[in-house]
Amino acid sequence: SAFPVDIDEIHTVAALKDAICAANPAIIACEAQGLQLFLAKRGGKWLSETRAAAAVALDNLGYPRGFEHMNPFSSLKNDACFGEKFQPMKGQIHVLIVVP
């Protein structure tokens, strides 16, 4: 299920993992470092909230197929993540989370 997480762009992907765990401890019941995060972007477009589950197939490791893994040491404003000009829009999914 989708839920919002507020975090400043100056932080890293590792800090985003911590924020995800803090934002929803009832669903994310593991240590933050165990989470695997993937950019919810396909063909240059963010997934929509209404179509996210149908659009995601898993590989043999249980990771979302065709989505880019987010390096825990990367800054969120790095182009490999969200970039300097990122503007979230309502109804978009930005991160896919794999819980161990």
DSSP 5-52: ----TTSBHHHHHHHHHHH-TTT--S-GGG-EEEE-EETTEEEETTTH
Report how far residue 51's alpha carbon sits from residue 31's, in angstroms, rounded to the nearest whole number: 28
pLDDT tens-place string over residues 14-54: 999 999 999 988 888 899 999 999 999 988 889 988 877 67
**Quick one: pLDDT at residue 53?**
65
**Quick one: pLDDT at residue 68?**
94
- 13: pLDDT confidence band, cut at 50, 70 and 90? very high
**Quick one: pLDDT at residue 22?**
94
- 92: pLDDT confidence band, cut at 50, 70 and 90? very high
pTM (2 d.p.): 0.89
Extents of the domains making up the chain: 13-98
